[in-house]
Chain A
Amino acid sequence: MTTHESSWSNGRLSQVHINRTAVHTPGYRTPSTPTMAYFRITLMRSGIGMPAKIQGVLHALGLKKRMTTVYHPVTPSVAGQIMRIKELVDVKEVDKALTKKEIHAARRPDPGYYIERKAGAWNNLEQ
Chain B
Amino acid sequence: MFGPFRLTNPLSGGLLWKIPWRLSRHQKYRQRQRLRKVDNIIATLDSALAKQGESMKKVERWKEEMPTEAEMLAKDKYTVFDRKVKRYRKGIHKVPKWTRVSQRLNPPGF
Contact = CB atoms under 8 A, between A and B. Distances in A.
A63 interface: no
B51 A76 contact: no
Contacts of A29: 52
| Count class of interface residues, chain B | 20 to 34
8 contacts: A37-B52, A74-B48, A79-B45, A79-B48, A79-B56, A86-B38, A91-B45, A92-B44
Contact of B100 (A50, A76, A80): A50
Interface string B4-39: 000000000000000000000000000000100110
Interface of A: 27, 29, 37, 39, 45, 49-50, 74-76, 79-80, 82-83, 86-93
Given A80-B56, A86-B102, A91-B44, A74 B49 contact: yes
Contacts of A91: 41, 44-45
B62 to A, nearest CB: 7
Contacts of A37: 48, 51-52
A79 to B, nearest CB: 5
A26 to B, nearest CB: 10
B23 to A, nearest CB: 18
B72 to A, nearest CB: 16
Given A89-B41, A91-B41, A83 B58 contact: yes
B59 A83 contact: yes
Contact of B58 (A74, A80, A92): A80
A88 B37 CA distance: 10
A74 B59 contact: no
Given A91-B44, A91-B45, A74 B52 contact: yes
